[in-house]
Amino acid sequence: MTEPDRCAVAISNVSKVFNQGKPNEVHAIEDISLSIGEGTFVSLIGPSGCGKSTLLRLIAALTHPTRGDVGVNDKSADQARLDRDYGMAFQTSGLFKWRSVAENVELPLQLMGWSKTDRKARAAEMLDLVKLDEFGDHYPHELSGGMRQRVAIARALSFRPSLLLMDEPFGALDEMTREHMQTELLDIWNKTGKTIVFVTHSIPEAVFLSQRVIVMSPRPGRIASDIRIDLGERSFETREASAFFEKVTEVREALRFEESQP
Amino acid sequence: MISRAFRGAAPATVVGLGGLLFWELSLLIINPEGFVLPAPSGIIAAFFDNFEEIWVASRNTGFIVITGLVGGVALGVLWALLVSRFRLANETLTPLAISLNAIPIIALAPIFNAWYGLLSPVSNQAIVVILVFFPVFINTTKGLTDVGATEIELMRSYAASSWQVARTVRIPNAMPFFFTALKIASSLAVIGAIVAEYFGGRQDALGPLIVQNAGLTRYTEAWAAVLAGSVMGIVLFVASGIFERVSMPWKPDAETIGA
């Protein structure tokens, strides 16, 4: 295992307990350590409730660990959030219906106090990146689900964060749109060189997208396997290659092994 | 756009005219003298015969309605902003608003008259303000707080200040709720003003005009004054709808129901 020089995300001995000391106490994550090299595409996969979304939110400093440390770009996760080191995309696009597509992409820039001209220019550039350059003046309700997710990705990347955190962003899309979006995302990743942490519960999606698939155990979430994926440049043929199926099987076996544990 | 508006209004117009025709014709059969319930044609005739008087009364009542509506809406929105922003305000002002609303507000009219003077319009305005305040407060608060978890997490991921969250998320989110309240409030304001006028305030207003005419068994004239009140309510409702459309250009047409 050779890691790139710099760590984008460093998680050490992190545990997360919700409602500690109360009757509804939940051990979501137990003693996870994980480091993610800069520029890597990593997927987190596991059964429902394994804490993969919680892990993503710990990186985002939207929730804080009960024990352990989370570092992003060599600083605390909280500081990274305040420095806007990451962009985030969710399963629901979270677009604001009262803002046009371009205005949605401009939102983070507006919050950072950018001038209107700069905002407009960047939004146009970003919409070009996600191939929606003609839809800037449309409102979200006029777009399909896949297009809305592309806007959400454009928004997450608009201020050029080094890290992109994605929580099942394609989970609500139909299979064909989903595969198309995966290709688009890899294209964006290749062009921008971001570090991407991608939560999913689709095994082929994780294998197709990632350089590394982190398999998590059922609650309390622990890292069950850390699987390297080396399929070279992805194309339509990748999905039909035997090497792809071998990796899909390997991830599936890792998940099954974990679920059979008491 | 215009032809579509006409097509949209056609069913309502047919039902309205049909209803009036039915009213007119059935009175010819069951109540030819038109004592208690006058015919629509008689009411409209009385409306124009007494136009001068009704116009002055409508202007005076309209002043109460508009000032009371503006005051009540401003109070409701301000109260909602405070309650949704500060926990302490929520814990103190929300129960206070609910208790205010629990008072049968119209019953305060004679008491307000004692406070402000029998012929003062202030007591009428105060009734309208209190009446309008609650639906605006409760709906706007709902709109300001009913924001999805994803949206809030997104704003936190941008390290947005709570003022930025309010301006870019909470307030736009509250707009449809506010306009629903405004439509309810505009009708309530007319009702509140006229009923309050039954008890006091200016004597050349719609409320006294209805009471006096009804007292003299001039029912057709009383109904003509009621008609003026209805027109006022409809004008305010439609104005709220137009205001809504102008303020919320993003709203798909299909969602805008009523005006």
Binary contact (A82, B159; C-beta < 8 A): yes
The pTM assigned to this predicted structure is 0.82
Which residues of chain A make contact with B169, given a CB cutoff of 8 A? 96
| First-to-last C-alpha distance (Å) of chain B | 14
Is B99 part of the contact surface with chain A (CB cutoff 8 Å)? no
The structural domains of chain B, ordered by start, are: 37-251 (1.10.3720.10)
Is B166 part of the contact surface with chain A (CB cutoff 8 Å)? no
pLDDT in tens, A114-139: 999 999 999 999 898 888 889 999 99
Q: What type of residue is A226? A: D
Handedness of CA B149, B154, B157, B163 (dihedral sign): negative
Q: What pLDDT shows up at residue B258?
A: 44
Output Rg (C-alpha) for chain B, integer angstroms.
22
pLDDT in tens, B171-190: 999 999 999 999 999 999 99
Cross-strand pairs, A75: A72
Q: Calculate the alpha carbon distances from A205 to A40, A156, A199, B36 in Å.
A: 16, 20, 10, 76
Q: Identify the band that residue B32 occupies on the pLDDT scale cut at 50, 70 and 90.
A: low
Q: Where are the alpha helices (DSSP H) in A51-160?
A: 52-59, 77-82, 101-111, 116-129, 145-157
* Six token digits for residue A160: 């050029």
Binary contact (A111, B168; C-beta < 8 A): yes
The rounded mean pLDDT for chain B is: 87
Which regions of chain A does DSSP assign to beta strands (E)? 7-18, 26-37, 41-45, 67-72, 75-76, 86-89, 163-167, 195-200, 212-216, 223-228
pLDDT in tens, A60-76: 999 999 998 999 988 99
What is residue A217's DSSP assignment? P
Nearest Cβ partner for A62 among B151, B157, B248: B157
Give all strands of the β-sheet with A212-216 in edge-to-edge order: A86-89, A163-167, A195-200, A41-45, A212-216, A223-228
Check: complex ipTM more than 0.90: no
Which backbone phi and psi does B216 adopt, to 5 degrees? Answer: -95, 15
pLDDT in tens, A195-213: 999 999 899 999 999 999 9
SS3 state of residue A130 = coil
Above 80 in pLDDT, residue A39? yes
Distance from CA of A72 to the nearest CA of B (A): 14
